[in-house]
Structure 1
């Protein structure tokens, strides 16, 4: 209700006044989605016509890798398995904050050595455009010819021969039930790859929204040539599945390096927003490496730090008053209600570094989980 003499946030004139940090609320166990057998990461949620909330997320098993298709396959032991063994799974809840319950795996590597998506399916993003459902993702293959200019270990080179084939794809379904049951269009082509001129080595972390001009905006992560630090690029298309054309570099400086964007257009404020993980110690966007930050753009091409750039430090505030520091808080996703208002922040998290320790003995602290943080 809007009282006489006041203006609601949705009626404000176009301005950069979104403060997600102040909207964050405490969590409890119902907001945690975790498995004793799988690392869980990269969540994306949509409300279905059934009133249920449908989560698409990435997961891969704990433990050591025993497949004999690579003599250096041990480089994918434990948490590192995302680069070869991740799959996109599906879970459901009756409210956006959970609790969510695993249902099935939706997509996994084709295993076809002639295809770009031979291995890992990762970074899922679910969107509905023009009455159809689009599930964006990344996958990779293996490039035996890939080399690097500097001296690296055989293990590092082998890792890069998988890692540097990451590209972005999408599947399209007429209904959400069709997507979940496998009735979708899945072309062998990818929609974005690095050109090794402006974008370098990888194209990952797809974030897609429709702008006020009716076009579709794809914000994705790549690396800068030569200097090599992470950066975002913006691509635009007339259709949700492309073809996309890269039009601008987003926050090019190393002191503004980010990854893991989630993107939307705020019609009330007449600007684009994106939440991302800050990948720098420079303190320009946040006082902590790995904090979640907010960036903004009026036209979708030219970006800057938002006025309230800090969304969250690497921590969780619990309803019992406890503040839990985190080693990881990544892959943010903003769930919007039908009016386009942020209602929940989803993120992948771990209390201890999941990349450390014996992969055969995953402890509660370094097992990963997906957290649903209410926004008010």
Structure 2
């Protein structure tokens, strides 16, 4: 049996086990499961690079018919924590989402002292907006979380050159606010009314500092900022945060949101941080992009789709799928790109799913 056939057969039995009444193998017997979850078919790992951790895989189909992925990477000598102080953003291309990707090169690297993105470039999120390629990303200036800011690099071509901003696109909120620590994990849509909507993650500094040393620090929430022009200024929505799970107790929170507009519905994928468990993905919908419905399971842990070697000691998030990003085909979600620890070099890589119609 070919490996891909084996993977798909394994996925089929995993999906059967998720049908209510058939005996769940995943500890989620009473979790609401989205229709989106049932459409996922594992393709497998991609962008396994010797000497690097690979994360934040954001795909787009180019005018050349190829699939372009913009992703974060950093030296394996830094360990998993290298994303915060030495990540760069690179570009790879394939003939299809299921074909091998070839590295084009690094497009954004830390610029050094004096710049807002001096020490890391991370969280790439690629979009085609008004005929221009827009790469939203996070940078920081001190290798720590409190200077994380969202920026926007632009180009007329997926192959560059990329014009890098002198200033971040969105600063943190005022001291004491729920969002005074940082702006990060961008997700962007151009609203049908012509406005430019930027979703972002943040949290409160005092809450974060008080909780240092605990398994979960602070409480991550999502806000919305709106602009009349792509370049800004972006004004925070007065009803922020638009998604906040803190009132559910147990320091429930989430991150890595990817938001898109499908028909007349806003839809969202994210990484769960305690709403159901820490291994799930979340799926939410909204009519207006501001008030969101109840979360459902978007996807499960990696071992529900493929069989991989046991977790090595140095990888503490092994089996968890993070940073969900979608590849669209004629405005329909066609593939789900995630990031997962492990792979050929036991660092991290992309893991891709096909989304069945």
**Structure 1 length normalisation: TM-score?**
0.74
1:18: how far off?
6.8
Q: Distance in 2 between matches of 1:88 and 1:234?
A: 24
Q: Please give the secondary structure, in 2, of the residue aligned with 1:35.
A: coil
Preserved CA contact (<8 Å) 1:98 1:372? no
Q: Which runs of 5+ in 2 are unaligned?
A: 1-32, 208-217, 311-317
Runs of 4+ in structure 1 deviating by more than 6 angstroms, as ranges, are none
Distance 1:327 1:22 in 2: 19
Aligned residues of 1:88 and 1:108 also touching (Cα < 8 A):
yes
Contact 1:251–1:304 (8 Å) recurs in 2: no
* Unpaired stretches in structure 1, ≥5 consecutive residues: 1-16, 64-76, 143-158, 352-362
Structure 1 residues 87-125: Cα deviation after superposition (integer angstroms, max 9, x where no partner): 0001000112332111200010111x2221111000001
Q: Show the counterpart of 2:172.
A: 194
- C-alpha displacement of 1:216: 1.6
CA distance in 2 between partners of 1:187 and 1:226 (Å): 29
Counterparts of 1:138-287 in structure 2, within 5 Å, are 138-142=138-142, 162-177=144-159, 179=160, 182=161, 184-195=162-173, 196=175, 197-224=177-204, 226-227=206-207, 228-247=218-237, 248-254=240-246, 255=248, 256-267=252-263, 270-280=264-274, 284=275, 286=276
Q: Residue 329 of structure 2 corresponds to which residue in structure 1?
A: 337
1:223-260: CA deviations, max 9, x gaps? 14654311111111122332211212122232451100
Is contact 1:25–1:374 with CA below 8 Å preserved after alignment? yes
Q: Deviations over 1:283-313 (max 9, x none)?
A: x4x3x2131111122111112225xx11111
What is the Cα deviation at residue 209 of structure 1? 0.9
Q: Aligned residue for 2:134?
A: 134
Q: 1:39 to 1:225 in 2, by over 3 A?
A: closer
Alignment match of 2:278 (pick from 289, 296, 319): 289
Number of matched pairs: 299
> How far did residue 200 of structure 1 move?
2.4
Q: Find the aligned partners of 1:25 and 1:33 in 2 and give their Cα distance.
A: 19
Once the two structures are superposed, residues 154-201 of structure 1 have per-residue CA deviations (whole angstroms, 9 ceiling, x without a partner) of xxxxx6xx2210000011112223x2xx2x332201111211323121
Residues 139-166 of structure 1: per-residue CA shift (max 9 Å, x gap): 1112xxxxxxxxxxxxxxxx6xx22100
Whole-Å separation in 1 of the counterparts to 2:204 and 2:43: 37
* 2:24 paired with 1:42: no
The answer as to whether partners of 2:34 and 2:283 remain within 8 angstroms in 1 is no
CA distance in 1, matches of 2:137, 2:52: 19
- Tell me if structure 1 keeps the 8 A contact 2:140–2:148: yes
Is 1:53 the counterpart of 2:33? The answer is no
* Equivalent pair of 2:49/2:345 in contact (CA under 8 Å): no
Aligned 8 A contact 1:27 1:316 in 2: no
1:365 positional shift = 7.2
Matches of 2:107 and 2:129, distance apart in 1: 20
Deviations 1:189-222 (A, max 9, x none): 1111211323121211000011222212111110
Calculate the aligned-residue CA RMSD, in Å. Answer: 2.2
Aligned to 1:26: 42
